[in-house]
Amino acid sequence: MPRMLLLLLLVAMALLGSCSATPTSVAATRRRQAMDEAAAPLIHALRPLRGGSGRELASRGGVACDSWALGVEAHNVRGWKTVPANCEGYVGHYMLGSHYRRDSEVVVDQALAYAETLRLAGNGKEVWVFDIDETTLSNLPYYANHGFGTKPFNATSFNAYVLEGSAPALPETKRLYGKLLSIGVKPVFLTGRTEDQRAVTVANLRRQGFSGWMSLLLKQPGFKGSAVAYKSGERQKLQDAGYVIVGNIGDQWSDILGAPEGARTFKLPDPMYYIG
């Protein structure tokens, strides 16, 4: 467990954007980690490469990791089960370094600029849809401990992590969330998390400083269907109830595809997993 605490600390540092660079691969880091459980060297060893620039790592054999990640973000690379094995280092350094934060910042800056152009009716019917995992809360503490997406998804260990309720907030999204609340746009959480995870999800969101949302929509037991079908169906219900979805932000294309998408959609980076 001290290892988990240290990872959490490191991820918190990464999310605060305070990490500097040391040229050592994540794999080497994990080996050193296994050998030495002492605090200081572990944190040092896990410090990321300079922002995961990709070029350095891309040519080590296998796919070009930066081009692959771009393909994921532009929705060219679809339906993948795991991150290519040779890209664990690239994705790890990207996520823990400043690159992920920088890329997220550009997305949220666009969302904020868009929000400022909105002519709001102010009738309490204008909502903004937020996904949760890798959009509002970060599961980086989990993925940093599980190969950054290179290993097949393990529902048991992932759900155990979710039930800890300890996922940190994504600072950029929190900035957007606060701004929308302040201008009278109501946040709606729409997540693939299941109804039985409601209490822990609410507790985690509150602990991370989120409050004032209009509703938290979780997947109901027995729902069979794609993420796009589920999420667009829920958005349709919102619309049918008279709400206007002025914006929609997620880390998966399945968060933002499928009518009604919302008046404007935003795709946050996520090179760790794909939900179709």
Contact residues: a copy of itself, CB under 8 A: 50-51, 53-55, 58, 63-64, 66-68, 70-71, 73-78, 99, 102-103, 105-107, 110, 265-267, 269
Closer Cβ to a copy of itself, 165 or 269, answer by number? 269
The least distance separating a copy of itself from the CB of residue 223, rounded to whole angstroms, comes to: 26
- Residue 74 and residue 3: Cα distance in Å, rounded? 35
Closer Cβ to a copy of itself, 51 or 147, answer by number? 51
The least distance separating a copy of itself from the CB of residue 255, rounded to whole angstroms, comes to: 13
Closer Cβ to a copy of itself, 130 or 243, answer by number? 130
Closer Cβ to a copy of itself, 66 or 88, answer by number? 66
The least distance separating a copy of itself from the CB of residue 24, rounded to whole angstroms, comes to: 17
- Residue 134 and residue 197: Cα distance in Å, rounded? 16
- Residue 209 and residue 190: Cα distance in Å, rounded? 18
Other C-beta atoms within 10 Å of 51: how many? 18
The least distance separating a copy of itself from the CB of residue 206, rounded to whole angstroms, comes to: 29
C-alpha torsion 179→181→185→188, nearest 10: 110
Closest CA to 134 of 155, 148, 151: 148
Signed CA dihedral, 230, 234, 240, 246: sign only: negative
